[in-house]
Amino acid sequence: MIDTCSTIEVHNLKEGKFGAQGGKNKQTLCCLSGLRNLIVNRISFPKRLPRGYKIDVNGEFLVYFNGRLTEANDYLKPYNLRCTHKWIGNEKSQISVIHIHSIYDNLNTGPSKGNKGNIYILFNHGNNTDIGHMFFMYTRMCCFLSVNLVSYDYNGYGHSSGRPTEKNLYENVISVYKYMRDSLRIDPKHIILYGKSLGSAPACFLISKSELYPVGGLILHSPLGSGLRVFFKSIIKHRFDAFDNAEFLKNCPLIPVFLLHGIADDQIPIEQAVELTCIVKESHEVVMSKRLNQNNKFHLENVPNPKVDAEHSHLNQESIEVIPRGRFSQVIQDARKINQTNQYVKTWWIEGAGHNDIERIFSADYYDHLSKFLDLYRKWLMENKGLH
């Protein structure tokens, strides 16, 4: 049954490819009720690579090092790190999770007892990979930044069971978050979400539910604005869209956010990261405006014998201007020339970087920017000690 019908120009839309650049072949798609799932399954979840890890009979996490299976903990030992593997979920949907942490951490006490200064990265990896292939990058991140890290495979990725769907992607990140909060007993303010490429979708989804699942920060690495935005620059919002990060981030709380994107990215255009930056800044401005108004109200209610003359009515009425989203069009057009920042939003647009080579080619700058972002996060943590 036809739900609605619209005509969309498709520029070289290839099955399983995350990209908008290419030929000028045009097709006409009739938007049926199943088009949304078609976009999700054909664009976002292509054939998976050979698994990059194994789990032995003792539950040890094994990775391929120099072509041979090696116990992850043997590799991590010189760095004073340890890797713990965990299955979470149920029989129908088991999620493979790893936790890389310092050997000096006591997992039975958790940060609420003795590890209050620890930072935990909840890493949502990209497409065409798994936690085994990502393991060595995770190790570098833990070493260079002195953080702990939790990552997982989505349903259908690595050794996680089930089917890879958009809905499952969101359910997966909620399950892992609850595992960190309830089993590892990590203070939510100590959790920083990291979403790379496709992984930006579950990260942004969790941000949209911040009242239920609060976190202390967000890092978006080569993020997509939404599924359709990868292919159609003109789309702002469409009922058949998927992975709609642009919509999710409209509810972004006032937390530190760092966006990084390669200017030469030929899979997800940098303009999408710029649009997300604008949306986050607008959301922050709304929150700051509300806080300011609340503070002003509290101040006025506690002023003894307040005057009601016209002059007094203009006191403490300062507000923060919220820029309409339509005015960001020029900002998006000038994306390659700007670096947008405000109090808690930092960006890094990398000249000459593509979609998958930022950490590899620009390693020193990459970790330098992340380190500075963590400094900002620590400042935010101190400023928000009493807030829930």
User: Is position 4 within any domain?
Assistant: no
Question: Is 326 part of any domain?
Answer: yes
Q: Is 30 part of any domain? A: no
Residue 122 lies in a domain: yes
Instruction: List Cβ<8 Å contacts ≥24 apart for 89-95.
Output: 89/161, 89/175, 92/161, 92/162, 93/155, 93/161, 93/162, 93/168, 93/171, 94/160, 94/161, 94/162, 95/152, 95/153, 95/154, 95/155, 95/160, 95/172, 95/175, 95/176
The answer to whether position 358 is within a domain reads yes
Mean pLDDT of 88-106: 90
Whether pLDDT at 24 is above 50: no
Which range, of 73-77, 142-146, 244-248, 337-341, averages the lowest pLDDT? 337-341
In-domain check, residue 301: no
- pLDDT for 367: 98
Q: What is the CATH number of the domain that holds 249?
A: 3.40.50.1820
Lowest mean pLDDT among 4-8, 92-96, 184-188: 4-8
Separation of alpha carbons 335 and 323, rounded Å: 17
**Does a structural domain hold residue 302?**
no
pLDDT in tens, 267-323: 999 999 999 999 999 988 888 777 666 555 544 555 555 444 433 333 333 333 333
Domain around 337: 53-286+321-383
Give this prediction's pTM. Answer: 0.80
- pLDDT, one tens digit per residue, over 317-372 is 333 333 344 444 444 455 444 555 678 999 999 999 999 999 999 999 999 999 99
Q: Provide, rounded to the nearest whole percent, the portion of the chain with pLDDT above 70.
A: 67
Instruction: Give me the number of domains the chain comprises.
Output: 1
pLDDT at 309: 42
| 377 falls within a domain | yes
